[in-house]
Amino acid sequence: MFLRLFRSTGAQVIVFIPFLGVLLWVHSLLNIPHSQFLFDRVSMPLYKAVVGVLPPGTIHASGFTLLLVIILSFVLSRLNTRFMILNNRSYLPAIMFVMITASYPGLQRLNPVIFAAFFLLFALNRIFKSYHRDRIAYEIFEAAFYISAGSLFYPFLIFFVFIVWVGLTVLRPFRWREWVFSILGLALPMFFMGSYYYLTIGEPLRLFYDFKAVFEAKYSFADYHVLFIIFIGFVIVMMVLGSEFMLKELQGKKIFPRKMFTVLLWLFINVIAVYIAVPQASGELLILASIPASFLLAHYLVFMESELWGNIFISVMLLLIVLIQIFY
């Protein structure tokens, strides 16, 4: 039932993904969530600019956020198609992404992590592309640039420059210039933003104070709903099973897919590390964690032999998400 549809690559699944997004967001579109996050009190400059045009807490802002989630899901599928991460032209990463991000209704509203996720995916695209470069890979500069630019929406994305360095280590032979390029790429958006502040308000260090305000803010995140905890626990169990399955399959894969999955694994570890180490980081990191999780779960489902177990897995996920929407 579900698994056969989700595995298909026809036009019906392309239409189904936006339909699924609307279905899983309809409750929040009619009842805008009012969860308070740190970014509601202390915001980065580019997110402030978006909020100035599209205030959160409105159906227009939530509808726009849903549109961004759907676009993000297709960007994930495009990444898979371009680099054949799953060795299969599947839309399953997109479907998994829409489902996982819908599991926390508090994020079904305008938030800076949605924008940061685009920059993270752009960075991954450049990191993976650098593998095929025989000479200096300027894609590393671009990847670090995207990470830095995304941090002007969501400050904690700055820590994901670690993934650029993982990509350098895993995908590239050592060339010291590429490591220097990663630092330059990281610094350039900060320089542009500082220059803008200097030219407009005469405060070149204003961006430094923006970051300082975020990391000094006292913030206590609300407890998670028990159904959300059950959902995350279920997804983690499936990820463990998927990881075990992948370890068996890795030996039969080409070198490049193995290295891409290694980068994605480190991306997931990076998310967990930021969540644990940064007191101000909270549930919004689910959106970034959904990127590697979607690829891992999609890989497990694409090659799952038992259609029955695949349908049970997807049905349980959907049931829990619907219950979360009702009782959140």
Give the pLDDT confidence of 116-153 residue by residue, as tens digits. 999 999 999 999 999 888 788 889 999 999 999 999 99
For the stretch 169-216, pLDDT in tens is: 999 988 899 999 999 999 999 999 999 999 999 888 999 999 999 999
**Domain count across the chain:** 1
Domain range holding 73?
2-327
Secondary structure in 3-state letters for 112-154: HHHHHHHHHHHHHHHHHHHHHCCCCCCHHHHHHHHHHHHCCCC
> Do the Cβ atoms of 133 and 139 come closer than 8 Å?
yes
Given a cut of 80, is residue 253 above it in pLDDT?
A: no
Using a 10 angstrom Cβ sphere, with 0-12 exposed, 13-18 middle and 19 or more buried, the burial of residue 265 is middle
pLDDT above 90 as % of the chain: 63
Distance (Å, rounded) from C-alpha 276 to C-alpha 270?
10
For the stretch 266-322, pLDDT in tens is: 999 999 999 999 989 988 999 999 999 999 999 889 888 788 888 899 999 999 999
Q: CA distances (Å), 213 to each of 42, 44, 136, 216, 317, in order?
A: 7, 10, 38, 5, 38
Distance (Å, rounded) from C-alpha 177 to C-alpha 40?
39
